[in-house]
C-alpha cells in the first residue's frame, strides 16, 4: 500500500480531535515502549538481513495477536523523502526513523493512534497516542499490545534491571510517557523557564512540537520522563500526571492574569494574529504556528468564537511542508509552499 492510498492529507488523526480531558491545554497523551528481540544485535551492530528478519518476526507476531484494529506495514526504504517527512509531521515516526531508512519499517493503525517502529534505535518502538489527557487509558492500550506481541517475541530482559535497550536512559521499563501541552500563557508572562527548570529537577524534560531534537514552535511542548530505570510504569505515569496537572494550573493562572491585567493587549495580539492568517498571501511554517497558537488561545478564552479545536489542531499539521506538497501532488519550492499555506489558511479560517 502507498502512503497516498492510506492517508487523506486533510484528515487529521484521532489524537488531533481536540477532545478529552484538559483539551484546552493538553493536545495529546502518548506512550512509547522500547523493546529488543533476543538473538539479534542491537541496532548499532545489526546487519541488513537481520533487520529484514526482525520485520518478518514482528509482522508474524502482529498477525498472531489479532488486534481489533488492523495494522498496516510500510517499509521506510520504499518511501521517498517526502513520504517519510509526512509521517514525521503526523507524529507517527521519529526524526531518526526517517533518516538512513534501509531496513526500517512502521506498522500503523488506520486511525493513527497506534504506530510500531521497527529497527529505529531499538528493534521495536511501540507507540500509542490519544487526544486529550488520559495517560491510564493510553497505558492500557500500549501494555495490551506489548503483552500480545511478547507471546510471540522473546524480548531482551534482565530480572535485575528490566528491559535492555540501546540507550541507557531507556533501560528498565523502556517506557517513555509524554504529554503535548500548549502553554502560551506561561510564555507570554515569562514564567516558562522557571517551570521547565523545576520539571528538569524532577527527571522530566520538555521537547519541541515534533519530539527530540526539535524546537518548541507555536508554544507547544512535549513533557516526558527522562529515565525509565528505578521506577515502575505506574509510578512514571503518576508522576507525569501530577506534573501535567500542576502545569495546567499554572497555565490557567497565567491566562487569568493576562485577562485581568492586560486584556486589551491580549485581545489585540490574538485578533492581529487572526487577521494575518486570514489575509496573508505568503507565510512560512514558523510564523503560521505562532499565529495559530495565539488563535487557539483566543478560542480557549472565548475571545474568538465559531472555530473548532478539531480544525485548528489539524491546521497545525496540514500547513507543514510535506503536507502542503502532498496536497499539491508534487515537490514545491519554499515560496510556492508559503503561498499555498496562506491560501489554505484563508480558506479554512472562516468563523461559522
Quick: pLDDT tens for 227-262.
888 889 999 999 999 999 999 999 999 999 999 999
* Cα–Cα separations (whole angstroms), residue 73 to 26, 28, 59, 293, 335: 30, 24, 8, 34, 34
How many domains, the chain?
2
- d(Cα 257, Cα 194) in Å, to the nearest integer? 17
Would you call 89 helix, strand, or coil by DSSP? helix
The answer to whether residues 205 and 91 belong to one domain is: yes
Would you call 320 helix, strand, or coil by DSSP? coil
Specify the DSSP class assigned to residue 93: S
Instruction: Answer with the one of 217, 233, 255 that is the final residue of a domain.
Output: 255
Output the domain CATH number for residue 61: 3.30.590.10
The answer to whether residues 78 and 217 belong to one domain is: yes
pLDDT band at residue 12 using 50, 70 and 90 as cut-offs: low
Residues in the chain: 352
The answer to whether residues 294 and 151 belong to one domain is: no
Asked if 326 and 301 touch (Cβ cutoff 8 Å), the reply is no
- d(Cα 293, Cα 259) in Å, to the nearest integer? 17
Query: How open is the CA angle 345-349-352, to the nearest 5 degrees?
Result: 160
Nearest to 142 by CA among 166, 178, 172: 178
pLDDT at 351 over 90: no
Q: Could you tell me what percent of the chain has a pLDDT over 70?
A: 95
The answer to whether residues 250 and 297 belong to one domain is: no
| pLDDT attached to residue 215 | 53
The answer to whether residues 154 and 36 belong to one domain is: yes
Quick: pLDDT tens for 304-331.
999 988 888 889 888 999 999 998 888 9
| pLDDT attached to residue 213 | 46
The answer to whether residues 99 and 143 belong to one domain is: yes
The answer to whether residues 114 and 72 belong to one domain is: yes
Instruction: Answer with the one of 255, 282, 298 that is the final residue of a domain.
Output: 255
Instruction: Answer with the one of 230, 255, 280 that is the final residue of a domain.
Output: 255
| pLDDT attached to residue 208 | 75
Nearest to 333 by CA among 282, 286, 290, 292: 282
- Residues sharing a CB contact under 8 Å with residue 241, sequence separation 6 or more, in sequence order: 135
- Cell readout for 163 is 528491559
Mean pLDDT across the stretch 135-155? 95
Rg (CA), the chain: 21
The answer to whether residues 42 and 183 belong to one domain is: yes
Q: Which pTM was predicted?
A: 0.91
Asked if 37 and 123 touch (Cβ cutoff 8 Å), the reply is yes
pLDDT at 209 over 80: no
The answer to whether residues 239 and 307 belong to one domain is: no
| pLDDT attached to residue 210 | 59
Please give the sequence-ordered ranges of beta strands (E in DSSP) within the chain, or none if there are none. 26-35, 71-75, 105-109, 114-118, 124-131, 157-158, 162-163, 175-182, 204-207, 220-225
pLDDT at 76 over 80: yes
Round the average pLDDT of the chain to a whole number and report it: 91
| pLDDT attached to residue 310 | 80
pLDDT at 50 over 60: yes
The answer to whether residues 86 and 202 belong to one domain is: yes
The answer to whether residues 133 and 109 belong to one domain is: yes
- d(Cα 338, Cα 317) in Å, to the nearest integer? 14
Buried b (16+ CB within 10 A) or exposed e, 176-196: bbbbbbbbbbbbbbebbeebb
Specify the DSSP class assigned to residue 234: H
The answer to whether residues 170 and 269 belong to one domain is: no
Q: Which domain holds residue 241?
A: 3-255
Amino acid at each position: 500500500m502507498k502512503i497516498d492510498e492510506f492517508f487523506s492529507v486533510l484528515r487529521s488523526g484521532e489524537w488531533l480531535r481536540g477532545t478529552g480531558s484538559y483539551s484546552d491545554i493538553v493536545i495529546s497523551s502518548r506512550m512509547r515502549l522500547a523493546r529488543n528481540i533476543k538473538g539479534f544485535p542491537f541496532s548499532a551492530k545489526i546487519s541488513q538481513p537481520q533487520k529484514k528478519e526482525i520485520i518478518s518476526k514482528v509482522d508474524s507476531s502482529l498477525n498472531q495477536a489479532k488486534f481489533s484494529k488492523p495494522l498496516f506495514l510500510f517499509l521506510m526504504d520504499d518511501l521517498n523523502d517526502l513520504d517519510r517527512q509526512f509521517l514525521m509531521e503526523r507524529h507517527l515516526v521519529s526524526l531518526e526513523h526517517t533518516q538512513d531508512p534501509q531496513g526500517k519499517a512502521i506498522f500503523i493503525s488506520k486511525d493513527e493512534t497506534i504506530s510500531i517502529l521497527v529497527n529505529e534505535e531499538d528493534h521495536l518502538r511501540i507507540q500509542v497516542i490519544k487526544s486529550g489527557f488520559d495517560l491510564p487509558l493510553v497505558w492500557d492500550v500500549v501494555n495490551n499490545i506489548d503483552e500480545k506481541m511478547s507471546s510471540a517475541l522473546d524480548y531482551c530482559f534482565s530480572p535485575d534491571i528490566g528491559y535492555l535497550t540501546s540507550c541507557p536512559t531507556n533501560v528498565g521499563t523502556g517506557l517513555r510517557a509524554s504529554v503535548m501541552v500548549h502553554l502560551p500563557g506561561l510564555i507570554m508572562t515569562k514564567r516558562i523557564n522557571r517551570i521547565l527548570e523545576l520539571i528538569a529537577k524532577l527527571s522530566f524534560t520538555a521537547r519541541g512540537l515534533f519530539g527530540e531534537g526539535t524546537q518548541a514552535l507555536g508554544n507547544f511542548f512535549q513533557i516526558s520522563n527522562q529515565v525509565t530505570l528505578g521506577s515502575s510504569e505506574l509510578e512514571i505515569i503518576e508522576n507525569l500526571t501530577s506534573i501535567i496537572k500542576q502545569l495546567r494550573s499554572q497555565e490557567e493562572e497565567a491566562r487569568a492574569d493576562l485577562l485581568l491585567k492586560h486584556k486589551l493587549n491580549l485581545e489585540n495580539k490574538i485578533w492581529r494574529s487572526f487577521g494575518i492568517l486570514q489575509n496573508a498571501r505568503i507565510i512560512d511554517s514558523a510564523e503560521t504556528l505562532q499565529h495559530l497558537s495565539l488563535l487557539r488561545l483566543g478560542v480557549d478564552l472565548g475571545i474568538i468564537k465559531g472555530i473548532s479545536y478539531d480544525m485548528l489542531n489539524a491546521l497545525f499539521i496540514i500547513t507543514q511542508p510535506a503536507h502542503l506538497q502532498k496536497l499539491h501532488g508534487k515537490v514545491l519550492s519554499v515560496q510556492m509552499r508559503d503561498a499555498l499555506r496562506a491560501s489554505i489558511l484563508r480558506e479554512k479560517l472562516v468563523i461559522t
